Structure 1
Amino acid sequence: MLYMEIKIYADVLFFTNLLMDYALLYISLKIIKRKPHILRLISAATIGAAYGVFAFFVPVLPFAKSGLNIIIASFMVYIAFMPGTFRTFLKYILIFLAVSFSAGGIAFCILYCTALGSWLGAVSSGGIIYVKVPIYKLLFVCVVCYFIMSLFTSVSKKYRRNAEITYDVSVFSGEEKATFKALLDSGNFLTEPKSGIPVMIIRKGVCDFLAENKNPVPIGYKSLSGYGELYGFMPDKTIVNNKEINVFIAISEIKFGDGFDAILPCDFDERIE
């Protein structure tokens, strides 16, 4: 029987896993519609990459390895996503594991069911794949993947309306009340500068009574056309789908799409859990 000697470079293995873990975390963030924090993503991916090197070279019993995988994934999710509640934390772990398993299954299928694995000199140990690719080629592939992902994201935004969710909202201020539909938008990261409270953007004419009995708070924003400023108001109470949330309401003269009169903060679904 012929044996082929394969040299495994720990630095290549670490860097490969670092890039892959970063990509998996980034994709998971896109799925849950959270704003990526680069430093936290890199920190979490570094933990995953270090564990990947350990798992490749150090034999561990299957049962213990499964538990260790979940523990490391939990650390990565907590660092990268900073979930607000335990329920949200569990949801994010499940999403990250689903993305990881899907990507891992696709990678194994491509590498070992085609000639690509042999051509790249792919080796698997402990569930970790090592691909004999020079660092500069790997960087080139990552840059290409980044541009493809960016293109896909920009194209998909045009069709996002079909999957967007609207909520029933009621705003109270004194004796006044307004009821309307609001859209959950992953792009609304506005917060009130001093308190950090998220901002719901509402169409002018829906809650104009807020301007009559509440003090305006300037809220700056940045868009493709430059910098601008909205005026926010803190209502007495805001109810969304029968749950009270704490948000500032900024009145905008921009016309929204059909079927809704306001845009909810990007983390609204997490805040009501």
Structure 2
Amino acid sequence: MVIYLDVLILINLYVTYFQILAVSVFTHRKTVWYRKLSAAGIGAVASLSIFIPQEMVLTLTLLKIFLCALIAFVAFGYTGFRAYAVSVLFLMLVSFVFSGLMLCVWLFAAPMKMLFINGTVYFGVDTMTIILSTCAAYGVVRIIRYILDKNGKTDGKYTVIIKNNGRECRLSALADSGNGIVDCFSGLPVIVCRRDMCADVSPPAIEMIENNSDISEIGTQMIKGVRIMPFSTVGKGGLICMFKAESVVIDDETNEEKYPVNALIGIVIGGRQEYEAIFNPKILV
């Protein structure tokens, strides 16, 4: 069977892009389109491994692991070892499931003009069939994620435990699906906290920003580690300062379970909120 390089690369560009979307859905990690496209491009080029002799098992295995790590880094960035490791593992899982499905199709259905070698798939079929099949698979992933999110707990009693700079604070928290604030750079969800309740663990720069009406007067070095982003809700808007704490754990006191979460802590500048902390229950699933 003749393999056309342009078809091989385009198919695997498309497949890798949807694999990254699946990882994004499962881990709630949002990322910009050009990062996903760049990562998918790496996967497309990696499809050339179809020409590596299958006897080189160790080389192929190490190559696949390296490519998953590289694709996850390009798609989602590095926001800490735990978050990065989760992204890599989920990408490996999605790739493994996809490879298993393709192997089953190849062995049992044996469609004409299809090759599956070294974990790389090649179809000699029309483009519309590929598009519909991939969209269907992605739709299944979305349905699974929706079912899991529907089971998110919103009526429990929660405490957010934040550790940073050798200090710790505990905030009573509300699980609210209306909190959809996400850092536009890392894609991490944001737990909105009251400034006065987490002053001990917050970077000093946040107090400087809150007390200074002109943020431009504050040097960039002084606000290192703090990200400022505009936000809007029903009836109000403003600025929110976000930072990455050393550890964030949500304690579900109702079910006596603790959830280490990968999230940013957000402080609304000049804001006054009723609850000590508000988080989206999706991060518990």
Q: 2: CA distance between counterparts of 1:73 and 1:220?
A: 33
Which segments of 5 or more consecutive residues in structure 1 lack a partner in the other structure?
1-5, 172-176, 192-196, 269-273
**2:201 is the alignment partner of 1:201:** no
* Deviation of 1:35 (Å): 0.8
**2:257 is the alignment partner of 1:249:** no
Residue number in structure 2 paired with 1:39: 34
Q: Deviations over 1:54-108 (max 9, x none)?
A: 2112326111111122122221111111122344433322221122112211222
Residue number in structure 2 paired with 1:59: 53
Q: Which amino acid aligns with 1:57?
A: F
Per the alignment, in what secondary structure is the counterpart of residue 13 of structure 1?
Answer: helix
Q: Which amino acid aligns with 2:181?
A: N
* Deviation of 1:179 (Å): 3.2
Does the 8 Å contact 2:102/2:116 carry over to 1? no
Q: 1: CA distance between counterparts of 2:65 and 2:176?
A: 31
Q: Which amino acid aligns with 2:34?
A: L
* Cα separation, partners in 2 of 1:95 and 1:231, compared to 1, 3 Å: closer
Per the alignment, in what secondary structure is the counterpart of residue 8 of structure 1?
Answer: coil
Does the 8 Å contact 2:19/2:91 carry over to 1? yes
Does the 8 Å contact 2:14/2:40 carry over to 1? yes
Q: 1: CA distance between counterparts of 2:157 and 2:116?
A: 42
Residue number in structure 2 paired with 1:96: 91
* Cα separation, partners in 2 of 1:59 and 1:160, compared to 1, 3 Å: same
Q: 1: CA distance between counterparts of 2:107 and 2:51?
A: 21
Q: Deviations over 1:162-184 (max 9, x none)?
A: 8x99543479xxxxx97313549
Q: 2: CA distance between counterparts of 1:152 and 1:65?
A: 31
Q: 1: CA distance between counterparts of 2:70 and 2:79?
A: 15
**2:68 is the alignment partner of 1:50:** no
Per the alignment, in what secondary structure is the counterpart of residue 53 of structure 2?
Answer: coil
| Equivalences, count | 238
Which segments of 5 or more consecutive residues in structure 2 lack a partner in the other structure?
164-168, 200-209, 214-227, 251-259
Per the alignment, in what secondary structure is the counterpart of residue 129 of structure 1?
Answer: strand
* Deviation of 1:8 (Å): 2.1
Per the alignment, in what secondary structure is the counterpart of residue 84 of structure 2?
Answer: helix
Within the candidate set 125, 143, 148, 2:117 is matched to 125
Q: Which amino acid aligns with 2:49?
A: A
Report which of the two structures shows the higher radius of gyration computed on alpha carbons.
Answer: 1
Per the alignment, in what secondary structure is the counterpart of residue 27 of structure 1?
Answer: helix
Give % identity.
Answer: 20
Does the 8 Å contact 1:169/1:181 carry over to 2? no
Q: TM-score, normalised by structure 1?
A: 0.64
Per the alignment, in what secondary structure is the counterpart of residue 153 of structure 2?
Answer: helix
Matches within 5 A, 1:1-273: 6-52=1-47, 54-59=48-53, 61-113=56-108, 115=109, 117-118=110-111, 120-143=112-135, 145=137, 157-161=149-153, 166-169=158-161, 179-181=171-173, 183=175, 187-189=180-182, 200-201=191-192, 215=211, 220-221=230-231, 228-230=236-238, 232=240, 240-241=248-249, 247-250=265-268, 251=271, 262-263=278-279
* Cα separation, partners in 2 of 1:11 and 1:228, compared to 1, 3 Å: farther
Select the structure with the greater relative contact order (CA < 8 A; seq sep ≥ 6): 2
Q: 1: CA distance between counterparts of 2:282 and 2:52?
A: 42
Does the 8 Å contact 1:199/1:265 carry over to 2? no
Does the 8 Å contact 1:187/1:266 carry over to 2? no
Q: Which amino acid aligns with 2:231?
A: Y
Residue number in structure 2 paired with 1:3: none
* Deviation of 1:151 (Å): 5.9
Residue number in structure 2 paired with 1:271: none
Q: TM-score, normalised by structure 2?
A: 0.62
Q: Deviations over 1:199-252 (max 9, x none)?
A: 53359xx96x9xxxx6498964356x7x840465899x9984499x98442357
Q: Which amino acid aligns with 2:52?
A: V
Q: 1: CA distance between counterparts of 2:6 and 2:117?
A: 16
Residue number in structure 2 paired with 1:194: none
